Amino acid sequence: MSKPEVSQASTMAFTEMALYVKAVAQKYGQEEALRLMYDTFWTYGSQVGGMLGQQFEGKEVTAPDILGAMAPIFDSVGFVFEVTASTPAQVTAKFTTCPIAAACYAVGMPTKPFCSNLGIPLCNAIVQAIHPRATWADIRHRESADDYCLEQVTIR
């Protein structure tokens, strides 16, 4: 499958997830739905990060190393990003294509709460499992479908 086809397929899957979260929010309240999503993706990210971190055992890990280890995950679900700044302690990436945001727009959900409780905890848990002093941050959140996000891995 081409990158656009992968992104489209992932958008469909994330749209189904967004619809499910909307239904849970209607039944149990938005706060509870988002808390459940956050906890679920933090746990999953910790597991994924533990597996990814094995490749760095006994090695000094840089922020670009961490993003590089995560890149196949992003590629597999159709995200498009490019590194815009990089030092050993910090790497910033511009995400232009985001199937999560596309799914939110498709079902009329705001992207920020969805990302803050799915993508951010997932990525933050991954980077912290790889390096305990690493963090993932959404330093610029997209304002519209044709906008972009800036994401940053920092090692303190």
Q: Where are the domains of the chain?
A: 3-155
| Domain 3-155 class in CATH | alpha beta
* Cα dihedral sign, 100-126-121-143: negative
Residue 82 is predicted with a pLDDT of 98
Label residue 2 by pLDDT band (50, 70, 90).
Answer: confident
pLDDT at 133 exceeding the cut of 90: yes
Label residue 37 by pLDDT band (50, 70, 90).
Answer: very high
Give buried/exposed letters for 36-66 (b at 16+ CB in 10 A, else e). Answer: ebbeebbeebbebbeebbeeeeeeebbbbbb
Residue 4 is predicted with a pLDDT of 85
Give 72-128 pLDDT, tens digit per residue.
Answer: 999 999 999 999 999 999 999 999 999 999 999 999 889 999 999 999 999 999 999
The residue ranking higher by pLDDT, 21 or 134, is 134
Q: Are 121 and 45 in contact (CB under 8 A)?
A: yes
Nearest to 30 by CA among 110, 128, 105: 110
Reading the block at residue 83, the tokens are 């590194």
pLDDT at 3 exceeding the cut of 90: no
Residue 118 is predicted with a pLDDT of 94
